[in-house]
């Protein structure tokens, strides 16, 4: 039987438009990299694999809500919450709670009930700043963050996710640089910010 990782890895390896580079990119974390991973427009079978893996790993006994980190995690939360909800005895099910971004800050347009347990999901993690900030907003609202999950962990340090309490589907270590030590900056290669509006 093919595992979830075996089914998704070939897509990631051949998805040239999803792993962009080489170039000189500014990541959401502010770090610079020669490569970015764009998870927008993933094929339906990859969504199926992610959904299957999430349902096998987490369950509605440990999760009341699913929160996607804006903007990368939002679309994943939209299909993960209903999948978890189908596997629960809880009459309220598992629902998605939307988080939004204003500038560099996250906020909850509708604050969930205190005491709910959340699965927080993001598409790609480098320094984990976005997912940890989203968790902080939830915890300040009284929500228990039960699980932190990124689809792709691109942090070169294999232990960094574990130290931050973050689980992930696949690890693609791609080096990043602070602007002061960025070798592309030193060579004068123009910086592209894919997150700019």
Is the pLDDT reported for residue 176 higher than 60?
yes
Whole-structure pTM value = 0.85
pLDDT at 91: 63
Domains of the chain: 40-173 (3.40.50.2020)
**Residue 118 has which token pair?**
């959340």
Q: Look at residues 39, 46, 6, 5 and name the one whose alpha carbon lies nearest to residue 20.
A: 39
pLDDT at 17: 45
pLDDT at 179: 92
Helix H or strand E segment including 137: helix 129-140
pLDDT at 197: 53
pLDDT at 5: 46
- 131-143 residue pLDDT tens: 999 999 999 999 9
Q: Which DSSP letter does residue 158 get?
A: T
pLDDT at 2: 39
Separation CA 50–CA 61 (nearest Å)? 19
Compute the average pLDDT of residues 168-173: 84
Concatenated DSSP letters for 44-97?
HHHHHHHHHHHHHH--TTT-SEEEEPTTTTHHHHHHHHHHHHTT---TT--EE-
Banded pLDDT at 3 (limits 50, 70, 90): very low
What distance lies between CA 72 and its chain's CA centroid? 6
pLDDT at 26: 93
């Amino acid at each position: 039987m093919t595992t979830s990782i075996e089914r998704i890895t070939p897509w990631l390896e051949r998805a040239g438009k999803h792993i962009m580079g080489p170039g000189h990119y500014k990541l959401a974390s502010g770090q610079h990299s020669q490569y970015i991973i764009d998870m927008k427009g993933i094929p339906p079978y990859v969504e199926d694999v992610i959904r299957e893996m999430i349902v096998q790993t987490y369950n509605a006994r440990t999760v009341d809500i699913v929160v996607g980190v804006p903007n990368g995690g939002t679309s994943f939360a939209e299909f993960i919450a209903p999948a978890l909800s189908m596997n629960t005895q809880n009459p309220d099910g598992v629902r998605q709670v939307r988080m939004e971004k204003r500038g560099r800050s996250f906020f909850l347009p509708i604050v969930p009930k205190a005491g709910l347990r959340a699965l927080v999901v993001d598409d790609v993690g480098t320094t984990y700043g976005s997912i940890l900030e989203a968790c902080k907003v939830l915890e300040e609202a009284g929500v228990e963050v039960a699980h932190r999950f990124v689809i792709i962990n691109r942090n070169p340090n294999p232990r960094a996710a574990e130290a931050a309490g973050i689980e992930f589907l696949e690890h693609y270590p791609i080096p990043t640089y602070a602007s002061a030590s960025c070798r592309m900056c030193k060579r004068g290669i123009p910086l592209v910010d894919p997150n700019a509006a």
